Each structure stands twice: as structure tokens, then as C-alpha cells.
């Protein structure tokens, strides 16, 4: 991972899950990190952990759903380090409810604002600096951005939007030599499942996943490092995800059954 050593990297959603694991992994290979999330206490504990591996990270609490806070995050990172090499859009939220049982439709707006508009806001603010360094934008999407998933309709919609947006942006930025990398994890152990919103817009409070049977955040982060280092186009973390892309073209009904079974089994 020599190509990442010394790079200035912003990670959103760094306080938990994939973002936290990725921050530790990048710190270990010598990246200069900007850690952002809403939870300042968790960010502070992560900063202390990372300080054991190298330079202390820069911490900036922000809500990606707020455009002005996104601008402030980018400005603060540039003020601190002077430049930016990689923006990792990782912050996200999800839902767990059939659409016909959803009583608070504002859930759909909240999810779209965090999962799609947040990365768009941040990337827009960061682009002048990324262009000057021939940098890279990374977005953590989901397998749900490639196919439909029951009880996750609003989440799947937001991730479809994310993938469409960043695939389009990749083409626009080709002449600027700014790479765009889309990460599509399968189920990963993360606090996002406990915070998933139910039909009334309230957090579940516990994960509906069988966490012993799904990828850990640390495993996911380790899988992400090579594709980030090589400025790769896309990573799908599971075999069923990679195979599913092709099955969807020739046997879409089978993919619907697989998605239904995955949600029902929790893995």
C-alpha cells in the first residue's frame, strides 16, 4: 500500500463501523487523516487509538446532511493540511421496514439526504483541491445500490442514486485525472443496523442481522485498501454480489428470491 503512505485522507462516518476500521487501517500505513462524524466522543476515542500508529489525526465533527457543514469540513481540512488527496464518503444511514408499513415518509428524505446528497455536497466542495492533486473520490455504496432489497427500499434507492451519480462523475473527471472508486459491501457488522429506522422513523435499537455470519468492519476495510491504493473503479465484497450482477441480467426473478432470503435470514 505504498501508494497511500503520506496521503491526506478525509473519512466521513469515521466514528463507527467501516469508517472506524478503515481509519485504523489507513493510519497504520502512514496516511494523514481527517476524521469526521457527528459523535464527537467516539471521534475523540478513535483519534487516541490512531495516535499510537503515527501522526495524530485531525478531527472535525460534522453532519453530512448539512451542506454548510460539508463546506466547513473541507475548508478545515485544507486549513489544517494545506491539500487533500482522497475523500472517502462513508457516512450513511438505513431503514428496516416494508414500504406499505412506513408511516413516516420523512424517513425517505432523511436517508436520501445523508446517503446521496451528503456525498454530493462534500465532493463538490472538495473537487477543486482534488483536481489540483489528481486525487481520488471514494464512496461506500452497497450491494443494495445494484439490486432491489425488501424492507430497505429507501436505502436501496439512495444507494442506486449514489452509484449513478459517481459513475457519471467518473466520466466527467477523467480528463482531470481524478479517480472515482465505488465500494459495494455486502452485509457488514456495523452500528448502522442498530440505528436503522423502522416504519415509524424510530431506531431499531438492536441489529436484525446475524452478525457472526456477516463480514466484520475490519475485514471490509482490509478488502477496500487495495482498490483504493490502485485507484480502482469498483469493489463488490462478496461472491454472491459479483455473481448476482450477471444473474440479474439473465434470471432477475432468481435475484429477487436471493434478496428476499438474505433479509429473512439476516445474512
pLDDT single digits (tens) 75-114: 999 999 999 999 999 999 998 889 999 998 999 999 999 9
Looking at residue 243, its pLDDT comes to 85
| 164, part of any domain | yes
| 266, part of any domain | no
| 244, part of any domain | no
Structural domain for 225, as ranges: 2-238
Read off φ and ψ for residue 48, nearest 5 degrees. Answer: -65, -40
pTM over 0.75: yes
| 267, part of any domain | no
What kind and span of H or E run contains 17? helix 17-28
| 256, part of any domain | no
- Across 162-186, average pLDDT: 97
C-alpha 56/C-alpha 150 separation (Å) is 42
| 43, part of any domain | yes
Query: What is the tally of structural domains in the chain?
Result: 1
The residue that leads in pLDDT, 212 or 103, is 103
Catalytic: 129?
Answer: no
> CA distances (Å), 46 to each of 19, 22, 33, 81, 241, in order?
10, 11, 11, 19, 31
Mean pLDDT of the chain: 90
| Residue of 29, 4, 140 whose CA lies nearest to 85 | 4
| 71, part of any domain | yes
Residue 133: CATH number of its domain: 3.40.50.720
Looking at residue 238, its pLDDT comes to 86
152 Cβ neighbours under 8 A, 6+ residues apart:
94, 95, 96, 144, 263
| 63, part of any domain | yes
Distance of CA 93 to the CA centre of its chain: 10
Amino acid at each position: 500500500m505504498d501508494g497511500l503512505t503520506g496521503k491526506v485522507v478525509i473519512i466521513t462516518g469515521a466514528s463507527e463501523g467501516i469508517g472506524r476500521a478503515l481509519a485504523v487501517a489507513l493510519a497504520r500505513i502512514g496516511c494523514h487523516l481527517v476524521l469526521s462524524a457527528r459523535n464527537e466522543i467516539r471521534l475523540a476515542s478513535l483519534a487516541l487509538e490512531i495516535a499510537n500508529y503515527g501522526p495524530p489525526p485531525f478531527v472535525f465533527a460534522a453532519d453530512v446532511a448539512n451542506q454548510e457543514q460539508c463546506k466547513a469540513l473541507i475548508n478545515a481540512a485544507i486549513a489544517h493540511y494545506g491539500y487533500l488527496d482522497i475523500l472517502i464518503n462513508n457516512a450513511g444511514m438505513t431503514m428496516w421496514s416494508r414500504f406499505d408499513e412506513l408511516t413516516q415518509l420523512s424517513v425517505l428524505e432523511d436517508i436520501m439526504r445523508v446517503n446521496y446528497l451528503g456525498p454530493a455536497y462534500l465532493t463538490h466542495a472538495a473537487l477543486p483541491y482534488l483536481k489540483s492533486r489528481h486525487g481520488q473520490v471514494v464512496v461506500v455504496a452497497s450491494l443494495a445500490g445494484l439490486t432491489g432489497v425488501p424492507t430497505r427500499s429507501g436505502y436501496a434507492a439512495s444507494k442506486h442514486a449514489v452509484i449513478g451519480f459517481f459513475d457519471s462523475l467518473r466520466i466527467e473527471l477523467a480528463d482531470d485525472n481524478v479517480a472515482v472508486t465505488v465500494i459495494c459491501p455486502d452485509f457488514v457488522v456495523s452500528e448502522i443496523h442498530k440505528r436503522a429506522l423502522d416504519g415509524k422513523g424510530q431506531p431499531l435499537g438492536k441489529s436484525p442481522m446475524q452478525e457472526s455470519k456477516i463480514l466484520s468492519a475490519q475485514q471490509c476495510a482490509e478488502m477496500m485498501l487495495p482498490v483504493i491504493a490502485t485507484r480502482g473503479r469498483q469493489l463488490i465484497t462478496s461472491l454472491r454480489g459479483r455473481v448476482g450482477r450477471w444473474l440479474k441480467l439473465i434470471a432477475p426473478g432468481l435475484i429477487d428470491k436471493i434478496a428476499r432470503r438474505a433479509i429473512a435470514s439476516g445474512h
